[in-house]
Amino acid sequence: MFTDRRAYPRANLDYGVDVCFDLRIFSVYSEIINISAGGVRVLIEEKVDVNTPVDIKLSPRGAEPIRCKGEVVWLNERPLGGLKRTVFDTGIRFTEIKTIDKERIRNAVDAAIRTPKIS
């Protein structure tokens, strides 16, 4: 039987995201797969080693951006659709985030989970 060990619920939110490390910003192709109050799963175009510290800017539509720090905790290389490109499915744990911003994410995730999806 599968047991989800995550500390926080996750949802797929329509946020813009910039991930920066070593003075490089990945916003051209950074896509949030899911997010929680504890971290974010993104697709980025360059491999970032596990334990690498990153700066993150999350941009919810119509709201102030959330700026925080994180650390890469896992990554998986994968092809991008039918394109001859590789992206990296990357898990980032938040290491420094304001309490109010953590609550904003938690509230958005809770709302997304409660809202039924229309196909």
Expressed as residue numbers, the domain containing 107 is 15-113
State the CATH number of the domain containing residue 37: 2.40.10.220
pLDDT of residue 2: 39
| pTM summary value | 0.84
* Residue ranges, the chain, pLDDT below 50: 1-3, 28
pLDDT of residue 33: 82
Strand order in the sheet with 31-36: 24-26, 15-21, 53-60, 66-79, 86-96, 39-44, 31-36
Number of domains in the chain: 1
pLDDT of residue 87: 85
- Report residue 110 CA to chain centroid gap: 16
